[in-house]
Structure 1
Amino acid sequence: MTQPAPSQAPAAVAAVGADMFAAAVEAQAVPVERVDWKPPMDGTVDDLATVAADPLRRDANQLAVKRMLDVQAMLVGVAPASELLGLEKGQFLHAGPPIEWARTSGPLRGALMGAAAFEGLVEDPEDAVALFEAGTEVTLEPCHHRGAVGPMAGVVSPSMWMFVLEDPATGRRTYCSLNEGLGKVLRYGAYSTEVLTRLRWMRDSLGPLLAEAVTAAGPIDATAILGQMLQMGDEAHNRNRAGTLMLMRDLAPHLARSSRPAEEVAEAFAFVGGNDHFFLNVAMPACKLALDAARDIEGSTMVVAMARNGTDFGIQVSGTGDQWFTGPAQLADGLFLGDYGPDDANPDIGDSAITETAGIGGFAMAAAPAIVRFVGGTVPDALATSRRMREITIGENDRWPIPVLDFAGAATGIDVSSVCRTGILPQINTGMAGKQAGVGQVGAGLVTPPAEIFPAALAALAERTRARSEA
């Protein structure tokens, strides 16, 4: 008589969704691998299928990443915005996607008011409100539209001095204003006398001094410094201590030999030495320079800009040109200064998310575990975040290795289709500005973009794909 074959228990079971099934299987002594999976974002299934079938997508994305990684960002100069960007009196740049005065947030209004007084358009910053409401003598334009980036409010006016980053292979350039430090500063919407006094000193002393030193030093390799920062505990968004020190190492001999008075040089050393975020304003245009190289590649689903103006959060995608996809800026979750709390904070603001777009900042939190003491969370959270970001990116940047992840390169190239397929949103480390104009910084924390902007970008990509297939 034939005996029945013994039952074969599975070696392991993969469980997706509700935990009840996984627990029941485990109770029968069967190993279970829980898979963190959920359906694609609502309404994206058809567009995901269309974009996935696009014959251009794979090569386009690989080209976008390659172009980005081929860029070597060199600090080559410091000069006024009027000279570099052609800004004239009454013209102001700001962070994030386009916005009109009526919709501006408190910190952006405060920064514009302070900048108007700094430029001599008004005596009292409070008088600038009527100037911007009339709109006849002033214009507003995103920094990104002029090849620039600005942290927080990101306001740039003609007299402000800016860092110049250049890719020697192509000659392309990007720009960013000088960093003012923390607390009550223009970029956080403050416009008190001390803020304006500091801006005038930066215009009259610090800017010319740095310009002389950078010229004497010759091009400074910002891309290489970014790589070294990740080895030294920075993530290049909310922690820039190592980057600032390395920049000063390169500039110090030339500052010391400057033609400027010794007291001015000492004051500059003291200012930069007391401002751990000084290098952020070099890191940002370095990231933009790399990402701009990946723009305008038909079929590419790679995000080339994430930016916020305090009201809207916008992204731009390689395969859709200069089009912005926007949604409401979100409130960050984090730690507050002094007696400030969530009710005091403005929604997320600034162009500094260009760092996360390039694969550092919140994407590289594993490289900077100390950052959790500034933005909240735990060290395991930081490690998990850097691993999770790899699920929504196209490749990795071997020039920016993360030691604790066995020197894996930073996750690179946010993929719109991967975000929509997984529901995982990019993680951003950010500062928090007070929602009332004039307050300044109130805290720092973690934030993600509004989810709806990624399906909107995916739909535009799918429409282009269908149009090409029908042509």
Structure 2
Amino acid sequence: MNDPARAAANDIAVGRMLASEPQLVGIEPAVDVVPGMTPQTILTSGAPLEWSAYTGGQRRAVLFGAVYEGLARDIDEADRLIRDGKIHVRSTQDHSCIGSVAGIFSASMPVVIVEDTAHGHKAFCSLYEGPSRLKLNYGAYDDNVRDALNWLRDSLAPLLSAAIEISGPIPLKPLMARGLRMGDELHSRNTAATILFAREINKSLLELYAGGRQTEVLAAFDFLYENEYSFLRLGMAAAKVMADAAHGVDGSSLVTAMAISCQDFAIRVSGLGDTWFRGPHPTLEGRFFDGFTDEDTEWIGGESCVTEVVGLGGFAQVCAPTLQAYQGGNYATMQRTNDEMYRICVRENDQFLLPPFGFRGAPTGIDIFKVLDTGITPAIDGGLAGKDGGQIGAGILRPPIDCFAKAAAAHEEMKSTP
């Protein structure tokens, strides 16, 4: 349905999104920089839930996060302290953070700090945990997971922080735009962007090497070389500040956040305040890694779909044909899926260009009413979590239309209220 006032509001919102200028400005312990973070706080992905509603791998991840932080001796004590109100479990979304899978943030964990220099706000994301299939943010915890987290905290994060002090803030949007031209879609594939980031920061790392930090620098080079997903956390924080810039425009029906928890899939809409509109988990079209089946799948959260909110991931997957080997499908289907996304968006992004579509701008600015009118829901490139605490597959996630319908009804009700 055509609504000139809503169209004008959406134009303002998507304009703010596209005008955003995300820059990496530092890496610091969460407790020092995340708004509202305390030594007793654990953050996790998804729209907020009561502690009793967290189940499975997401619940385990929170408990393990408390153990890792030294707030409890074991998960039983962590559970009791949470129920007693001595450990506080909060949503990442309420603290300007964006979480990968279960998205665990504890006080001492390092976070990347991305600032939108056009609008002044910041977003925070944890560092990529490393090559092991088992990770805390997938609900696993053992000596190897702990040691990997300690190395991020005690070695890599301080080193990268020092490198950023030398280099100054690093603009992220140019790296992301170039990554698209080099075969990334900036959600399930970040190979080119990780290489570009490493090149951006190499000169500063070499200065630190010359200054006596040889062992740390060589380990950092190895990490960036081995872990092609490293840039995803920067891209997620960049996407969050871009999406947040579009939030709060009266009358706008633009989606400004999408998030998954163990219980639901939820969206937030620019003109509808901080209300989350919830619906069932997405359906999956993809492939399982060898040895795993649908029986091994478990929903444990995830907010990397913020990349789709700003025109990346499933909205730019035509740039990344090699994803076929990772998440299944074929390139013709990827092209059709990507082309569909234009039908639910209000703008083409003049900075994120898609070479296979003749350098057409990526579809950007999901409109809840366009979703309802077409029956097309966002295509989200994503990984599959397993019950054992590791990744077991990947594919395209399609959320049901329920949450978009709820948001549209709320939008219409708001319009009709004097």
Which residue, out of 76, 79, 84, partners 2:28? 79
1:251 pairs with 2:201: yes
Aligned to 2:153: 203
Q: What are structure 1's unaligned runs of at least 5 residues?
A: 1-48
How big is the shift at 1:374? Answer: 0.9
Aligned to 1:400: 352
Aligned to 1:152: 101
How does 1:310-325 map onto structure 2 within 5 Å? 310-325=262-277
1:453 pairs with 2:417: no
The one-letter code of the counterpart of 1:320 is L
Task: Give the SS at the match of 2:316.
Answer: helix
CA distance in 2, matches of 1:107, 1:358: 28
How big is the shift at 1:62? Answer: 0.5
Decide whether aligned partners of structure 1 residues 348 and 458 sit closer, same or farther in structure 2, where only a CA change above 3 A counts. Answer: farther
Task: Give the SS at the match of 2:230.
Answer: coil
How big is the shift at 1:412? Answer: 0.3
Task: Give the SS at the match of 1:239.
Answer: coil
Shift >6 Å, 4+ stretches: none
The one-letter code of the counterpart of 1:423 is G
- TM-score, length of structure 1 as denominator length: 0.85
Aligned to 2:325: 373
1:307 pairs with 2:259: yes
CA distance in 2, matches of 1:218, 1:427: 36
CA distance in 2, matches of 1:411, 1:91: 37
- TM-score, length of structure 2 as denominator length: 0.96
Aligned to 2:127: 178
Mapped contact 1:332–1:430 kept (Cα < 8 A) = no
How big is the shift at 1:328? Answer: 2.2
Which residue, out of 243, 247, 251, partners 1:291? 243
CA distance in 2, matches of 1:144, 1:376: 31
- Which range moves more in the overlay, 260-269 or 291-300? 260-269
Q: Per-residue displacement from partner, 1:117-167 (whole Å, max 9, x unpaired)?
A: 2110123346433333x2421112211211110111011111011111112
How big is the shift at 1:201? Answer: 1.1
Identity of aligned pairs, percent? 39
The one-letter code of the counterpart of 1:360 is L
CA distance in 2, matches of 1:209, 1:123: 30
Which residue, out of 194, 211, 215, partners 2:165? 215
Aligned to 1:265: 217
CA distance in 2, matches of 1:114, 1:319: 37
1:59 pairs with 2:8: yes
Which residue, out of 225, 230, 243, partners 1:278? 230
The one-letter code of the counterpart of 1:384 is R
How does 1:228-247 map onto structure 2 within 5 Å? 228-247=178-197
CA distance in 2, matches of 1:466, 1:435: 46
CA distance in 2, matches of 1:363, 1:158: 34
Q: Per-residue displacement from partner, 1:317-341 (whole Å, max 9, x unpaired)?
A: 0010111000122353322223111
Q: What are structure 2's unaligned runs of at least 5 residues?
A: none
Mapped contact 2:46–2:303 kept (Cα < 8 A) = yes
Mapped contact 2:37–2:95 kept (Cα < 8 A) = no
CA distance in 1, matches of 2:328, 2:91: 30
How does 1:23-62 map onto structure 2 within 5 Å? 52-53=2-3, 55-62=4-11
Mapped contact 1:332–1:347 kept (Cα < 8 A) = no
Decide whether aligned partners of structure 1 residues 338 and 105 sit closer, same or farther in structure 2, where only a CA change above 3 A counts. Answer: farther
RMSD of aligned residue pairs (Cα, Å): 1.5
CA distance in 2, matches of 1:99, 1:345: 21
Q: How many residues align?
A: 414
CA distance in 2, matches of 1:364, 1:402: 7
Which residue, out of 372, 376, 379, partners 1:424? 376
1:131 pairs with 2:85: no
